[in-house]
Every structure is written in structure tokens, then in C-alpha cells.
């Protein structure tokens, strides 16, 4: 990726998270790569797992299938993900169902480390939202989940899509030949997908929605869903548009977050070093590990 594009994307992601409601006073929002100990702990954890274990992870299988040359970073990414979790001694991690196996890897690595070097990490647990939002499907192929990595942009609703783009995507969403709106995920996945989106944005149950739109065919129902999606996403898009024009403010949010994250991460990394034999008296007195780690 082009360095400028990467830098722009970092600010865009920061603005998007803030626009969606993340409060930096309550949550530590930072750029992972600015805290060196993520990579350092990842190396230690990588020594505790095997090639065979990583190769069994479904996301690696799925993504590597389409690549002629599989980069090492894709293969070991779940280990880095585990380091992201364990470095802050997280006990509960909110994830989608497709990430549960990655949390299981973090659990295994925490247990292995604790058994070998002494109790250090709590064993993290996944927090999976069991409601229908976990079953939001592609607008173009309701047999697959909606994904930002899908090459077809018409398959998903992007948070920053303009109203006319959202309207076009929903209008072209795959349904079926039956005009009545019903919630039957197994037999009518396309229509059910629209009902789920409607339910998540309105707080109404699928059955309540079907009752309220009983007189509408699927074409007219798409207009109802469109209006609701636009209503809910417009404030986010507008706030993003304001924030992205304030790069200095966004950079300050990230800088402050990095300082707070580094304080926590450095304490954990010092503890890990002591446990595994990397003990260094200077490190134990200085939380800014990244400034002197080259001396080890």
C-alpha cells in the first residue's frame, strides 16, 4: 500500500470510529503500530504455537485460497491478534462469530504461557452478540455474510455511502419472486436479510415489522428500508465529514491514546520479560520500553 494512502486511511478510520460514537475519554483509541510491544509480545507468543495450528484457522484457509503467494503476515496475523488482546490483559473481547476461533487461539496461548512461565495473563473470552445482526448477509448473494472485503461494492452498505448510493444498493438487493414480505431466513434469505437490517436499525422484531408492512410488496418494502438506513447513517456520515477536515485533532486523539496504551502495555511487557528471562533492571525502572529495547 502507498504510504500516503495508509496514513489517510488511519485518519479516516479514526474519524469513522468517532463518528459512530466512540468516546476517547472512555475508550483508549490509538494506532496499534505506535505501540511497539504488540509486535514484541507477538514474537514471544509465536514461539508457543505451531504452523499446523495456524493453518487450521478458517480465515487463513479462506483468504489464502485466492492468493498465488501467501504472505507470512497473513499466516501469523492471528498471533499478533492474540498479542493485542493479552498485552492489555483483556478478559472479554467483543467479536463476530467468524472471529471466535481467533479468540480460542488467544486462550490457548494464554494458558500455555501461564503454565510454562507462571500466571501472567487472564484467559480471555469472546463476547458474541447472538441477535440477528450476526446474520446480516450480502445484498447480492444472501448465502454469504455481508463483508467489507467483498470485491462487489454493491454487496454491502458502507457507513459513509451517500443516500443515492444506499438507495441504489437496496433497490438492487436480491430477493425472490414472492411479493409478500415475510421473515423466513431458510427459504427466503434475501427478504429476511432486509428485515434483519430493518430490525437492527429500528429495534422492532422481525415479526412486528412483517405485520406493519403486510400490505407492501418487496419492491415498496425496499423503499421503507432505504429511508430508515439513510436516516440512521446520515448523521454518522455528516459527522465524519466534519472530523476528517480536522487532521490535527484526529492526530491528537491518537497521540493521547498511544500514551495511555503504552503505559499499560509497558507494564505487561516488563512482566513478560521477567517471566521468560529477558530481565533487565533498566526496563523495570522505565516504562518507555520501546526507547531502549535495542539494548537487550
User: Would residue 275 show up in a list of annotated catalytic residues for this protein?
Assistant: no
In this structure, what C-alpha cell is assigned to residue 276?
521468560
In the set 12, 89, 145, 204, the catalytic residue is 145
Closest to 126 (Cα-Cα) out of 82, 93, 83: 93
In the set 12, 63, 204, 275, the catalytic residue is 63
CA dihedral (34, 35, 36, 38) positive or negative: negative
- Under DSSP, the state recorded for 128 is E
Dihedrals phi, psi of 217, to nearest 5 degrees: -85, 175
Helix or strand (DSSP H, E) at 126: strand 125-128
User: Would residue 63 show up in a list of annotated catalytic residues for this protein?
Assistant: yes
Q: CB atoms < 10 A from the CB of 45, how many?
A: 26
Q: How far, in Å, CA of 21 to CA of 60, rounded?
A: 31
Which residues participate in catalysis according to the annotation?
63, 145, 148
Amino acid at each position: 500500500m502507498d504510504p500516503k494512502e495508509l496514513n489517510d486511511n488511519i485518519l479516516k478510520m479514526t474519524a469513522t470510529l468517532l463518528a459512530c460514537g466512540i468516546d476517547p475519554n472512555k475508550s483508549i483509541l490509538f494506532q496499534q503500530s505506535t505501540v511497539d510491544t504488540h509486535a514484541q509480545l507477538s514474537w514471544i507468543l509465536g514461539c508457543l504455537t505451531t504452523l499446523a495450528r495456524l493453518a487450521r484457522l478458517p480465515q487463513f484457509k479462506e483468504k489464502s485460497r485466492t492468493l498465488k503467494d501467501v504472505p507470512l503476515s497473513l499466516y501469523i496475523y492471528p498471533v499478533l491478534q492474540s498479542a493485542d488482546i493479552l498485552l492489555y490483559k483483556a478478559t472479554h473481547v467483543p467479536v463476530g462469530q467468524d472471529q471466535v476461533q481467533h479468540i480460542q487461539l488467544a486462550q490457548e496461548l494464554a494458558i500455555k504461557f501461564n503454565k510454562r512461565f507462571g500466571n501472567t495473563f487472564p484467559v480471555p473470552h469472546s463476547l458474541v452478540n447472538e441477535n440477528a445482526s450476526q446474520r446480516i448477509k450480502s445484498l447480492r448473494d444472501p448465502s454469504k455474510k455481508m463483508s467489507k472485503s467483498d470485491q462487489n461494492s454493491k454487496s454491502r452498505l458502507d457507513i459513509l455511502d451517500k443516500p443515492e448510493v444506499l438507495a441504489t444498493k437496496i433497490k438492487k438487493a436480491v430477493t425472490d419472486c414472492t411479493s409478500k414480505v415475510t421473515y423466513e431466513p431458510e427459504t427466503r434469505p434475501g427478504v429476511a436479510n432486509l428485515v434483519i437490517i430493518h430490525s437492527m436499525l429500528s429495534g422492532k422484531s422481525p415479526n412486528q415489522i412483517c405485520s406493519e408492512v403486510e400490505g407492501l410488496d418487496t419492491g415498496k418494502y425496499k423503499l421503507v428500508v432505504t429511508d430508515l438506513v439513510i436516516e440512521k447513517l446520515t448523521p454518522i456520515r455528516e459527522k465524519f465529514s466534519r472530523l476528517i477536515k480536522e487532521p490535527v485533532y484526529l492526530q491528537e486523539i491518537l497521540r493521547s491514546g498511544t500514551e495511555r496504551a503504552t503505559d499499560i502495555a509497558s507494564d505487561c511487557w516488563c512482566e513478560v520479560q521477567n517471566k521468560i528471562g529477558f530481565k533487565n533492571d533498566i526496563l523495570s525502572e522505565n516504562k518507555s520500553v520501546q526507547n531502549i529495547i535495542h539494548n537487550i
